[in-house]
Chains A and B, each alone.
Chain A
C-alpha cells in the first residue's frame, strides 16, 4: 500500500531524514515514533505530497508521490500537526468544502459529511463557527476533515496532542473503530496509545529508521533481564540468601521488607525465588514483574543511541 525507498530530506547540511525505507500493507495501523525532531512529520509530509524529498521514492497504492501526486492525494486523508482549519467557516460548511476539494462525487458529499460528523461526535456543533470551538473540538474537526473523503489511507500527525484524557480516550476509540476501514499511520508521543491501537511500529531517530516491526516482535525484543519487585512480612535482610539463588543477577533492598531483584529472564528463577520465600516463611505480601514494555524499547533505542552518538 505504501512503499518508501531510500528517502532522504536535507535542510542545507542537516539531514531531516536519512535513507529511510519501509513498507506498509493494506489495513495496517502503524505507529510512527521518535523523539521531537526525529523526522516523523517530514516523513509524513513527503508521503502526503506536501513536501518533496531530496532523494528516494515514495509510492502510495502503486502511484509515485511525485509523478502522480493527484492520484496519491485522492487516496490520502491527512491531519497535520496543526489542523488546517478555516476559522471563519462553520464545521459543516468546512467539511463540505473539504469533501468537494477531495473530488468526492456530488452524490456522496452529503453522506460523507454526515458520517464524518457522526464518527467524530461533532453533530452538536455542526453549525458553529470553528473559531469559537475549544481546542479539543478543533482537533476533532481536523480529524473529521481527514476522514471525510473516506480515503484509503489516513495519516494522523499527533492527533491527540493538547487534548484532555477523556478526549484522548475518545480519539483512541475512534482510531480503533477505523481499523480495517483504512490503512492508518499515526505519530504520537503517547506510547500506550500506540500499544493500544497499532499493529506495527516504526521508530525514527535522528532521521534514521531504527526499528520497523510488528508490536508482537517488539515485545519479544525485551532485554534478557527482568526485575522482580518483592515485598515480604519478615523484617530481616534476605539479600544475601536471594543472591545465592541461581539466575539472580543483583538484589537491591529498597526498605527492610522490600526488594528489587534483577533476574535472568526465565521462569525457573522466579519459581526458585518464590519457593525460597515460602520455605523461609518470610510471608510474601506482594510480587510484581517489571516487564520491558514499549516505553523501555523506545527509550533504549532512542536515548541510548543518542548517548552513544555523544560518546562517538
Chain B
C-alpha cells in the first residue's frame, strides 16, 4: 500500500501544482456562480407568483429538481470534459516524457500504478464537486430544505465521474500522445450517454430493458429520485473495475509490445 500512497501523493500534489486544475476550478466557479444564482432567482420568481405555478410541472416547484439538480448536472457536463484533460497527464504524458520507464522499472505492480493514479484522479473530481456543493450548503443557510436527496444526487454524479475517470485513465494508457488520449476520453465519456440514449430508439422490450440496465442514465436517475439501490452501486463499481482492469492490461502489455 505504501507504493500506492507514494504515487497517489505525487499525482495529487501534481494536480494542485499545475495551472490546469486551477483553470478548471476557475471555469467551474464562474459557471456555477452564474447558473446557480439564475436558478435560485427563477425558482423564487416561480414561487412568488401564483400565475406561473398553475401550468408548472410539479418538479419545477421542488428546489431539489428545479435548482440543485440543474446545478449538479452542470458538474456532470464539466466532468465529461475535465476528466480526460486531467487523466491525459497521468499515463499518456508520462509515456511521452519517458518517465513511465521509471514506474515500469520500480518494484511496483501495474495494479498499484493504476490504483494510485485512479484514486488521485477521483480525488480531484471530488474537489471540483465540493466547489459545487459550497453553493448548496450556503443556500441551506438561507432556506429550509432537506439536503439528503441532493447529497444522494451528488453521490450519483460523483459515481458517474468515477466511471469517466476509469474510462479516461484507460484512454490515457492507450497512447503516448496526450491530445489523442484527451479526445479518446471525451469520445468514451460521451459514448456512455449516447449508449444510454439508444434505449429510446428501440421498441424491442428485451433490448430496451438490457440497454437500460447497462446504461448509467437509469441508475443515476434512481439516485436523483432519492432511491439508493445496491445494484446501482454494484453497476458503477463494475464499470470502474472493468476499465481499470483494461488499463492495467494495457500497461502490462507494454512489456510485450515493441515500444
A residues lining the B interface (CB < 8 Å):
11-12, 48-52, 69-71, 73-74, 76, 78, 80, 82-88, 97-98, 100-103, 145
Contacts and interface: CB of A to CB of B under 8 A. Distances in A.
A101 B101 contact: no
A84 B255 contact: no
A76 to B, nearest CB: 7
Contact of B103 (A76, A82, A88, A101): A101
A103 B108 CA distance: 9
Interface stretch (B3-11, B138-146, B199-207): B3-11
Contacts of A76: 105
B17 interface: yes
Given A84-B100, A101-B7, A52 B256 contact: yes
Given A11-B258, A49-B105, A88-B14, A101 B98 contact: no
Given A11-B258, A84-B99, A88-B18, A73 B3 contact: no
B74 to A, nearest CB: 30
Given A50-B104, A88-B17, 16 more contacts: A50-B105, A51-B255, A69-B107, A70-B108, A73-B107, A76-B105, A78-B105, A84-B98, A86-B10, A87-B97, A97-B6, A100-B2, A101-B3, A101-B7, A101-B103, A102-B106
A85 B102 CA distance: 8
B102 A101 contact: yes
Interface in B72-101: 97-101
Interface in B242-259: 255-256, 258-259
Nearest to B104: A50
Contacts of B104: 49-50
Contacts of B98: 80, 82-84
B109 interface: yes
Contact of A98 (B14, B102, B109): B102
Contacts of A73: 105-107
A70 B103 CA distance: 12
A76 B101 CA distance: 13
A49 B258 CA distance: 14
Contact of B105 (A48, A52, A83): A48
Given A73-B105, A145-B102, A85 B255 contact: no
Nearest to B103: A101
18 contacts: A11-B258, A50-B104, A50-B255, A52-B256, A69-B107, A70-B108, A73-B106, A74-B107, A82-B101, A83-B98, A85-B97, A87-B97, A97-B6, A101-B7, A101-B103, A101-B107, A103-B3, A103-B107
Contact of A84 (B101, B109, B259): B101
A239 to B, nearest CB: 56
Nearest to A11: B258
Given A50-B255, A52-B255, A101-B3, A84 B102 contact: yes
Chain B interface size band reads 20 to 34
Contacts of A87: 97
Contacts of A69: 107
Contacts of B106: 73, 98, 101-102
A80 B100 CA distance: 11
Contacts of A88: 14, 17-18
A130 to B, nearest CB: 10
A85 B109 CA distance: 20
A56 B256 CA distance: 14
A192 B194 CA distance: 63
Contacts of A78: 101, 105
- Which of B6, B14, B105: most chain A Cβ within 10 A? B105
Contacts of A102: 106-107
Contacts of A85: 97, 99
B256 A70 contact: no
Contacts of B109: 70
A85 B101 CA distance: 10
A49 B109 CA distance: 12
Interface in B210-259: 255-256, 258-259
Contact of A101 (B100, B108, B258): B108
A52 B18 CA distance: 35
A13 B126 CA distance: 49
Contacts of A52: 255-256
A78 B99 CA distance: 12
A287 to B, nearest CB: 51
A152 B205 CA distance: 65
B1 to A, nearest CB: 12
Nearest to B5: A100
B5 to A, nearest CB: 9
A99 to B, nearest CB: 10
- Which of B103, B104, B259: most chain A Cβ within 10 A? B104
Contacts of B100: 84
Nearest to B14: A88
Given A70-B109, A73-B106, A101-B108, A86 B6 contact: no
B18 A101 contact: no
A135 to B, nearest CB: 14
